[in-house]
Structure 1
């Protein structure tokens, strides 16, 4: 089993930068209208394992459907490198876009978890 380690990521222009402590063991994708169009590969992490290093003032929020997730976009380049929401117990969680990591892992889309967000 892989150990958690710090993974650094950013939006396209670099204005928004973050660190996520994770083992990247539970990668997934979603078939909702938004995620399908963006081609996200996601990793969920608890709030304690996420640090926004720069760019809080560069973020803008989009919410849709149940409005339970803050989709946070860079105002300059438009990239959503992470989102914020909560788990079923009310704990803040971050969903990082693994494609925005500085060194993204090799991803086998057939081997990751598939979330049926279209029928949620």
Structure 2
């Protein structure tokens, strides 16, 4: 079921809103950045994502994947979302919203949501990594 969630970084300088259907699935990636950050995300379209405040507080970190913009709050260091540009996986731009930054997520709904694991470490985004227990 599609729900509108608000959320923020830890200090609240960056505030977002997103229309999310957790039952459609969530994702975890094994790339070096997502593993270190323990990112658990939900994909949303650009029309379903809104940056409400804090654009000037964002730092855009670009790692090994040239289409991924990992946005961090320059005040508290939390990464509430990232923007993924084409041609990565889907062929269209999308946002990965950090589930941990969303307010009011029902834990029961979250644990029922399917999780897709991505092998970003080997740049094989369509495959499930051989090891996922640590994600």
TM-score, with normalisation over the residues of structure 2? 0.80
Aligned pairs for 1:1-120 (under 5 A) are 2=1, 4-24=2-22, 25-88=24-87, 91-106=92-107, 107-108=110-111, 111-120=114-123
Q: Which runs of no fewer than 5 residues in structure 1 stay unpaired?
A: none
Contact 2:67/2:86 (8 A) holds in 1: no
* 1: CA distance, partners of 2:3 / 2:105: 13
* 2: CA distance, partners of 1:63 / 1:7: 26
Contact 2:29/2:119 (8 A) holds in 1: yes
* 1: CA distance, partners of 2:84 / 2:38: 19
Q: 1:29 to 1:43 in 2, by over 3 A?
A: same
TM-score, with normalisation over the residues of structure 1? 0.89
* 2: CA distance, partners of 1:116 / 1:102: 28
C-alpha deviation, 1:90, in angstroms: 5.1
Alpha-carbon RMSD = 1.9
SS at match of 1:117: coil
Deviations 1:23-64 (A, max 9, x none): 122101011111111111111111000010100011011001
C-alpha deviation, 1:5, in angstroms: 1.5
Q: Which runs of no fewer than 5 residues in structure 2 stay unpaired?
A: 124-135
User: Number of aligned pairs?
Assistant: 118
Structure number having the greater strand percentage: 1
* 2: CA distance, partners of 1:27 / 1:105: 14
